[in-house]
Structure 1
Amino acid sequence: MPLDGRAAFQLGVLLLALPLQLLISSYYNAGDETQRTFILNRLITKAAVIKEQLFTWDTWQNWCQDLYNKVKMLKSLNQESDAGTDDPALEESYKAHSREYFGASKEPRYPRPPHVKYRVGQVIKHKKWGYRGIIVGWDPYTKAPESWIKEMHPADKPHWRKKPSYSVLVDTRDRPEPQATYVAEENIEVVTNTKVIHPAIDDYFYKYDGAQYLPRPKYKSLYPQG
């Protein structure tokens, strides 16, 4: 169902209200004149950005419609979860959202299987596509939806299914849009003395020692042996 103009505008105003209210509240609670001046400048800047970038009808309509579609999709997935489905395609779609694919499982990887060649924190280069990245997870064998495997694995590489695959944060100098990939072990080449740029690095690691990134304690508990 498309959003009408009134609904889109109301939704947008409500979503903008919270950050502006927080800034105004901070202004009145500031302890001295310097803090108030700083917060007031932020408030003026934020208002200018909103006026310049957001107050056009096409922008609001497209943004709000996209938000509505995402909420509708999540609601649909929840309904499928509760009711089940006899449609194999829908069933596979739901499973793809509910399982822990692409090295994202929260189960500790211990002990580390001897056939898993690479470790979390190592900087790698993709042998085929050439981009750099950091390993942030691995599976002892490929764990991904069947449709993804059929699309991404070459027909002459059926053995990849039974080999380790690695979740990798891609360097934004090689691919400007921040992203993660899931790479077969055969496509990985380790590099040293190379830092990677990605906005999510600090979520996983606290330091680069010249050879690899060192995981934060909470993340190291998932991969005690790397």
Structure 2
Amino acid sequence: MPLPLDVGVRAGMVYLVLVLAIPIQYYLSNQMSVPSTQRDANLKRLLKTFYHFKSKYLSLPSWKRWCWSWFKKAESLRTGQKFIILGKDPGKDMGETPAKDVLTYRNPEGYFAKSTEVRSYRPTDVKFRVGQVVKHKIWGYRGVIIGWDAKAHAPEEWLNKMHPPDKTRWRDMPNYSILVDTRDRGTPQSTYVPQENIEVISNYEIQHPFIWDYFDSFDGALYIMRKALRYFYPKDG
């Protein structure tokens, strides 16, 4: 009987930690003969490297994502249906996310920061970056930025409803697409928010079923973009 995904993932993580224990012990024993100042500096570099490694490879979400990617590859071989990847060259490892052509088909006008235009220029008034965790100043919900427009880009009917006459300035400032934490709003959703209505928060991980379609890991302050998303926001990385 196959193990449940969570049990198998945790078992794999424990095995990897045990495998890494011996080389780490060897490294630390060699450091005992090094001057204390140099040893402290080396240890800090080691801890920093380990933290990034842990965030990317030893976290439960990353292992789930890895297992799921292999499941999807196996499924694609069984059904003959490919999972197309996002980006300029589908032959490169840019991460499994909705294909560029699919995004264009779903949203040909590129509304709500869903445009496939590469943001090769980043205006100075764009205050926040893709991957930053933010909180809505008015409604209080938290989320992570997955895209931005230098000015609001949405259907006129939506703008008239969400950006009332006394808030016309919202149209002319940067607006951000945000994946909302499901602990704040039970139904998985994204919002489109003017810059002045959000503020950055740190040391807070967002819960959303699609978050790993956009990011590889979380370093405690910022979500690290997958290659596919970084292609469209090269100045935000």
Relative to the length of structure 2, the TM-score reads 0.54
Q: Distance in 2 between matches of 1:111 and 1:164?
A: 14
Partner of 2:139: 129
Q: Distance in 1 between matches of 2:123 and 2:216?
A: 25
**CA 137–97 in structure 1, closer or farther in 2 if over 3 Å, else same:** closer
Secondary structure at the aligned position of 2:160 is classed as helix
Q: Distance in 2 between matches of 1:188 and 1:197?
A: 18
CA drift of 1:97 comes to: 5.5
Say whether residues 1:210 and 2:206 are aligned partners. Answer: no
CA drift of 1:217 comes to: 0.9
Residue 157 of structure 2: which of 138, 147, 152 is its match? 147
Q: Distance in 2 between matches of 1:157 and 1:144?
A: 15
Find the structure with the greater CA-based Rg.
1
Percent identity between the two aligned chains: 53
Partner of 1:27: none
The number of equivalent residue pairs is: 134
Partner of 1:159: 169
The structure with more helix, counted as a fraction of residues? 1
Partner of 2:233: 223
Map of 1:60-75 to 2, 5 A cutoff?
A: none
Secondary structure at the aligned position of 1:220 is classed as helix
Q: Distance in 2 between matches of 1:98 and 1:151?
A: 22
Structure 1: gaps (5+ residues)? 1-33, 39-95
Partner of 2:111: 101
CA drift of 1:155 comes to: 2.1
Q: Distance in 2 between matches of 1:169 and 1:155?
A: 27
Q: Distance in 1 between matches of 2:165 and 2:139?
A: 18
Residue 125 of structure 2: which of 115, 133, 139 is its match? 115
CA drift of 1:162 comes to: 1.1
Q: Cα RMSD between the aligned structures?
A: 1.6
CA drift of 1:225 comes to: 1.4
Q: Distance in 2 between matches of 1:154 and 1:134?
A: 25
Q: Match for 1:179: what amino acid?
A: Q
Map of 1:172-187 to 2, 5 A cutoff?
A: 172-187=182-197
Structure 2: gaps (5+ residues)? 5-105
Deviations 1:135-184 (A, max 9, x none): 00000000000000010013211111111000000000000000000000
Q: Match for 1:154: what amino acid?
A: P
Deviations 1:16-68 (A, max 9, x none): xxxxxxxxxxxxxxxxxx57xx9xxxxxxxxxxxxxxxxxxxxxxxxxxxxxx
2:217 and 2:224 in contact (8 A); partners too: yes
Map of 1:28-107 to 2, 5 A cutoff?
A: 34=1, 98-107=108-117
Q: Match for 2:167: what amino acid?
A: K
Secondary structure at the aligned position of 1:183 is classed as strand
Q: Match for 2:222: what amino acid?
A: Q
CA drift of 1:122 comes to: 0.2
2:107 and 2:114 in contact (8 A); partners too: no
